[in-house]
Structure 1
Amino acid sequence: MADPPPPRDATDDHVARWLPVLPDLDPDTEGAVTRAMLLTRHLRRTKEHSLVASGLDRHEYDTLHRLAGRGGRAAPSELAADLGLAPASVTGRLDGLESRGFVRRTPSAVDRRRVDVELTDAGRAAWRQALAAVGHEEERLLGVLSEEERAQLAALLRRVMLAAESS
């Protein structure tokens, strides 16, 4: 008795629809790219839902995330560079986060003319709550793969990203 065919997803239907129209279409390339786009869209929606549940706006989360990634303390200019924003834009973000008690500005230990921004316990908790929902979904999705398969997937995606970054 033959093995049953593997389960189909929406991308299989997409590829089947386009193959008669584009006979030179590589189904593996189209399948990989389409699945990557759909997975990205799914994770973006998960992030948006987690932000709503945690009471954070996207720009607040992004700022807290970059600050947490710097150990919870950074100069506004460092955050501006990390976020790809003008320093004045970061100042407005920090004003809002400070009024919510998520960050505090303190004099710099390095330069008296400068201030540093610190993540407060409340800011770290809000960031972690939003981060947790996305992390759980990533674990759920990649949990269908073995540890070895996840490592292989990461290595393959790294090769693809290196090609993208080299252009």
Structure 2
Amino acid sequence: MVPYDGVVDDSVDRHITRWRGKAPFDERVEAIVTRMQFLVKHVSQAKDTALAAVGLQDFEFETLHRLASRGEGGRATPSELAAELKLSPAGMTGRLDTLESAGLVRRIRSEQDRRRVDVELTEEGHATWRKAMNVQGGVEDDMVGVLSEAEQDVLSALLKRMLSHVESQGRPETWVSVSAPNE
């Protein structure tokens, strides 16, 4: 492989070398996809570390994250959260019970309709979510920070083009059609 910015060899270069001639793949495509997979794994591990540092589990963080995305007050109905998180109402109730017991969310009567219950982040919930985001954000900033702003813009545009293409293709199970060779 051609050295780039002083990096002579990485784990993907060794992977390509190990598999060269043993598996049918385009080396350039394999290198791109494998590097993306390794970077996603790195971000996932950073998220796990960030959550452990603040005492959250992934499902708790995802619920707090959805509420925090709603801005000031971070409110949503349990059914809105369940739909976003693709959970059953019972699953959402259990999750909210856990978060409420920990003091991270509270259930309150809706201001518009007293029959409706809203869920909102508490100050502690928002602070805990923010701490996890800061830890994870630091790892992401460090990873992407090796690129100049112009390079980051180019990479973002290229990844956007790839993702848009994939998303326009439909569901993953419709992408591949494998048929047995004729015998």
TM-score tier by shorter-chain length is: over 0.9
Q: Which has the higher contact order (CA 8 A, sep 6+)?
A: 1
Is 2:19 the partner of 1:18?
Answer: yes
TM-score, normalised by the number of residues in structure 2: 0.85
Report the counterpart of residue 107 of structure 2 in structure 1.
105
Q: Deviations over 1:28-55 (max 9, x none)?
A: 1100100111111111111111111100
Unaligned runs of 5+ in 2: 170-183
Equivalences, count: 164
Give me the whole-angstrom Cα distance separating, in 1, the residues matched to 2:78 and 2:137. Answer: 27
**Correspondence 1:1-167 to 2 at 5 A:** 6-22=7-23, 25-71=25-71, 72-167=74-169
SS at match of 1:20: coil
Give me the whole-angstrom Cα distance separating, in 2, the residues matched to 1:58 and 1:142. Answer: 23
User: What percentage of residue pairs aligned between the two structures are identical?
Assistant: 50
TM-score, normalised by the number of residues in structure 1: 0.93
- Relative to its length, the structure with more helix (as a share) is 1
SS at match of 2:108: strand
Give me the whole-angstrom Cα distance separating, in 2, the residues matched to 1:135 and 1:147. Answer: 17
Give me the whole-angstrom Cα distance separating, in 2, the residues matched to 1:9 and 1:47. Answer: 23
- Taking a change above 3 Å as real, the CA distance of residues 127 and 111 of structure 1, as seen in their structure-2 partners, is same
Consecutive aligned runs of 4 or more in structure 1 exceeding 4 Å deviation: 3-6
SS at match of 1:116: strand
Unaligned runs of 5+ in 1: none
Give me the whole-angstrom Cα distance separating, in 1, the residues matched to 2:22 and 2:59. Answer: 42
Give 1:6 shift. 4.3
